[in-house]
């Protein structure tokens, strides 16, 4: 037997106390052969305040549908005599209910074919038993609201149809006026659109100019750094000659000049690295690196500046564990050397500077901290301390110097190693703490770092080797660079000749028969690459040692010289130890 229940008190009343026509309760048909489930549906849906009508079979549901309109049917799939699918088919065959939404209720899992059949019969959704009240209530509420909106739309359409006739003439008049207005507006918009297109095109041209200027700036910085190396080479050579002639004795003036020259070379290297990073050309050569060895290299680089300031430097490393990194030894040493140099520059003479390394087991990373008691940082300065060409203190009184790119390199190179840099400061006058965090390479996974491979002419002179002179040819279009390098080689006890014109190299090689050639790469009229290939072609790979001497020192530059036939690659200004080593190696080769 069917039951009809209405709960208008449960629905929200209109604010004036009268329901709007579209807000009247609607009928919802609940069809299930189990009274307990009907009571469950009743309890779940009562808060909606709609007319809930119950039917215990499909036939009873069809009879009720013939008597009244229903917004929604909640239909059990598994019923005796007539199941839910058959009932749904008969319901939707009636024109009056062909669009009435049906929610199937089932206590068993339905197959995809069952779902397809249900959807083909007009089902809009499935609900599984046991029913989750909130889900069922929300589904029914949505469908009821859609039913109301559809009814309101039908009433509105009828009203609009009645008004349409009266509006046609008025619309026709308005349309004419609107078309005229739109024509004028379109003309205005077209004019404005042309202006905007011109502005966009000009902005694009400006952006292209900015990109071109940025690229030119990067190329200029790289070229500037390279060109600065050329005048540094004679200076470095002259200092080396003076050191040799003085017999290696203490000379404070000489030490000062060497220290300042080394600082200038480091600034040029930083400038080159920034240009490389900006162009995306800075590459790493990762290998298994000992943290302790790498930090020793960094301290060795920064030691002159630490000593010059009389700083009290303390380094603490893990005592019982060898920490390994997968990193570029040189680049990572550069990171910590820059941090130490930064601490030394921005601390008063005699200040304490600490370097501490530890393992963060929780993150499985190595943490290296550089702490100073220098000028410190304000809160707003910490956000910009890694910006390129930014110096946190530019006052004349402190005059720390530098280009403001050291910390930028620290951040960029650390990021290239999948690490991060953190900075802390208690404020101005309270010093700074820089913390570099890098992923650790576990010892079980790490191999033994490869021993450095000696160059063709790079071996040290062994005891008992030939002590006679070696013939060395220096080729450089810069006469000062060629003459000072030749003088250094001569002071080392070797026979030397120099050539300034790259077109005369082969003839001089035939005349002088050198054991080793120091060959500049960038020369007007003919490059060192072409000369090296020519010498290799006519004299063979083992008959003559050829060393590139150039201002370019990136990995791709070294690869290019190697491909051209050079045995080694020296970056200007060349160091005395490297020149001594190469000349000694060439001498041993001549002896054999």
List 76's β-bridge partners, or say none: 105
CATH C-level class of 288-439: alpha beta
Nearest CA among 343, 322, 336 for reference residue 421: 336
Domain ranges of the chain: 3-131, 288-439, 471-591
Per-residue DSSP letter, 575: P
479/484 Cα distance (integer angstroms):
8
Q: pLDDT per residue over 198-232, tens digit each? A: 988 888 888 888 877 767 776 776 677 667 777 77
Secondary structure E strands in 373-415: none
Is the distance from CB of 345 to CB of 305 less than 8 angstroms?
Answer: yes
Question: How many Cβ atoms sit within 10 Å of the Cβ of residue 445?
Answer: 10
List 541's β-bridge partners, or say none: none
Is the distance from CB of 475 to CB of 531 less than 8 angstroms?
Answer: yes
Predicted confidence band at 318 (pLDDT cuts at 50, 70, 90)? Answer: confident
Predicted confidence band at 29 (pLDDT cuts at 50, 70, 90)? Answer: very high
321/539 Cα distance (integer angstroms):
52
Cis peptide preceding 130, ω within 30 of 0: yes
Structure-token match 């009389």, residue found: 310
Q: If you average pLDDT over residues 25-32, what whole number do you get?
A: 92
Three-class DSSP category at 143: helix
Please give the full DSSP string across 447-516, using - where no structure is assigned.
Answer: PPPPPPPP-TT-PPPPTT---S--EEEEE-SSHHHHHHHHHHHHHTT-EEEEE--GGGHHHHHHHH--SE
pLDDT value of position 505 = 93
Architecture of the domain spanning 471-591: 3-Layer(aba) Sandwich (3.40)
Q: If you average pLDDT over residues 532-540, what whole number do you get?
A: 85
172/402 Cα distance (integer angstroms):
77
pLDDT value of position 222 = 67
Predicted confidence band at 531 (pLDDT cuts at 50, 70, 90)? Answer: very high
Is the distance from CB of 92 to CB of 101 less than 8 angstroms?
Answer: no
pLDDT value of position 446 = 41
Q: Same CATH topology for 3-131 and 471-591?
A: yes
List 219's β-bridge partners, or say none: none
Is the distance from CB of 186 to CB of 247 less than 8 angstroms?
Answer: no
Q: pLDDT per residue over 113-167, tens digit each? A: 766 777 777 667 888 888 889 988 988 988 898 888 888 888 888 888 878 787 7
The model's pTM: 0.46
Q: Which two tokens stand for residue 49?
A: 């305040």
Per-residue DSSP letter, 95: G
Could you please state the CATH topology (level 3) that the domain comprising 3-131 is classified under: Rossmann fold (3.40.50)
Cβ burial of 84 (10 Å; 0-12, 13-18, 19+) is buried
pLDDT value of position 533 = 93
277/409 Cα distance (integer angstroms):
9
45/365 Cα distance (integer angstroms):
58
Q: What Å distances lie between residue 590 and 510, 516, 545, 587, CA to CA?
A: 16, 9, 10, 5
184/424 Cα distance (integer angstroms):
62
Does pLDDT of 12 surpass 50? no
Per-residue DSSP letter, 136: H
pLDDT value of position 242 = 72
Secondary structure E strands in 11-101: 27-31, 51-55, 72-76
Q: pLDDT per residue over 300-317, tens digit each? A: 888 888 988 899 999 999
Exposure on the CB side of residue 238, measured as CA atoms within 13 A: 10
Please give the full DSSP string across 238-268, using - where no structure is assigned.
Answer: HHHHHHHHTTT---HHHHHHHHHHHHHHHHH
Angle at 289 between CA 446 and CA 568, to 5 degrees: 120
Question: How many Cβ atoms sit within 10 Å of the Cβ of residue 105?
Answer: 23
Secondary structure E strands in 341-460: 352-360, 365-372, 420-424, 433-439
Nearest CA among 339, 236, 218 for reference residue 282: 218
Q: If you average pLDDT over residues 528-546, what whole number do you get?
A: 85
């Amino acid at each position: 037997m069917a039951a009809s229940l209405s709960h208008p008190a449960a629905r929200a009343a209109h604010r004036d106390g009268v329901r709007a026509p579209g807000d009247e309760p609607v009928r919802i048909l609940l069809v299930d052969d189990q009274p307990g489930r009907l009571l469950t549906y009743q309890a779940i849906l009562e808060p909606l305040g709609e007319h809930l009508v119950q039917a215990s079979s499909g036939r009873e549901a069809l009879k009720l549908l013939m008597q009244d309109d229903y917004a929604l049917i909640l239909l059990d799939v598994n019923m005796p005599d007539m199941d839910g699918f058959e009932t749904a088919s008969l319901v939707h065959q009636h024109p009056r209910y062909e669009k009435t939404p049906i929610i199937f209720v089932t206590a068993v899992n339905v197959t995809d074919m069952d779902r397809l059949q249900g959807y083909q019969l007009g089902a809009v959704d499935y609900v599984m038993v046991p029913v989750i009240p909130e889900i069922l209530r929300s589904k029914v509420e949505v469908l009821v609201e859609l039913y109301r909106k559809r009814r309101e739309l039908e009433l509105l359409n009828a009203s609009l149809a009645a008004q349409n006739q009266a509006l046609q003439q008025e619309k026709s008049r308005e349309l004419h006026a609107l078309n005229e207005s739109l024509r004028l507006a379109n003309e205005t918009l077209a004019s404005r659109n042309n202006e905007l297109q011109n502005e966009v095109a000009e902005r694009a041209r400006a952006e292209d100019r900015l990109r071109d200027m940025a690229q030119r700036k990067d190329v200029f910085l790289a070229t500037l750094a390279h060109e600065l190396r050329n005048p540094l080479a004679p200076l470095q050579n002259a200092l080396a000659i003076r050191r040799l002639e003085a017999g290696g004795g203490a000379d404070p003036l000489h030490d000062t000049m060497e220290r300042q020259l080394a600082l200038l070379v480091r600034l040029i290297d930083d400038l080159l690295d920034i240009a490389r990073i900006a162009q995306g050309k800075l590459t790493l050569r990762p290998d298994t690196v000992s943290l302790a060895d790498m930090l020793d290299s960094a301290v060795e680089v920064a030691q002159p500046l630490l000593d010059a300031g009389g700083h009290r430097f303390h380094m603490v490393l893990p005592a019982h564990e060898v920490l390994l990194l997968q990193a570029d030894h040189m680049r990572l040493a550069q990171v910590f050397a820059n941090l130490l140099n930064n601490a030394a520059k921005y601390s008063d003479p005699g200040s304490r500077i600490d370097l501490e390394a530890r393992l963060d087991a929780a993150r499985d990373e190595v943490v290296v901290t550089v702490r100073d008691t220098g000028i410190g940082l304000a809160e707003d300065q910490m956000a910009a301390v890694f910006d390129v060409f930014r110096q946190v203190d530019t006052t004349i009184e402190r005059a720390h110097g530098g280009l403001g790119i050291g910390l930028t390199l620290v951040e960029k190179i650390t990021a290239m190693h999948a690490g991060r840099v953190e900075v802390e400061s208690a404020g101005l006058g309270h010093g700074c703490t820089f913390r570099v965090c890098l992923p650790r390479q576990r010892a079980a996974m790490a191999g033994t770092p490869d021993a450095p491979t000696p160059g063709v002419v790079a071996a040290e002179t062994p005891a008992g080797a030939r002590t006679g002179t070696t013939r060395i040819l220096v080729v450089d279009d810069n006469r000062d660079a060629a003459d000072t390098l030749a003088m250094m080689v001569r002071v080392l006890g070797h026979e030397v000749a120099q050539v300034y014109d790259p077109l005369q190299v082969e003839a001089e090689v035939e005349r002088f028969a050198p054991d080793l050639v120091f060959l500049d790469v960038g020369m007007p009229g003919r490059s060192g690459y072409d000369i090296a290939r020519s010498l290799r072609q006519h004299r063979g790979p083992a008959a003559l040692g050829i060393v590139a001497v150039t201002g370019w020192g990136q990995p791709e530059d070294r690869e290019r010289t190697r491909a051209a036939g050079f045995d080694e690659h020296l970056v200007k200004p060349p160091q005395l130890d490297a020149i001594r080593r190469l000349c000694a190696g060439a001498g041993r080769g001549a002896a054999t």
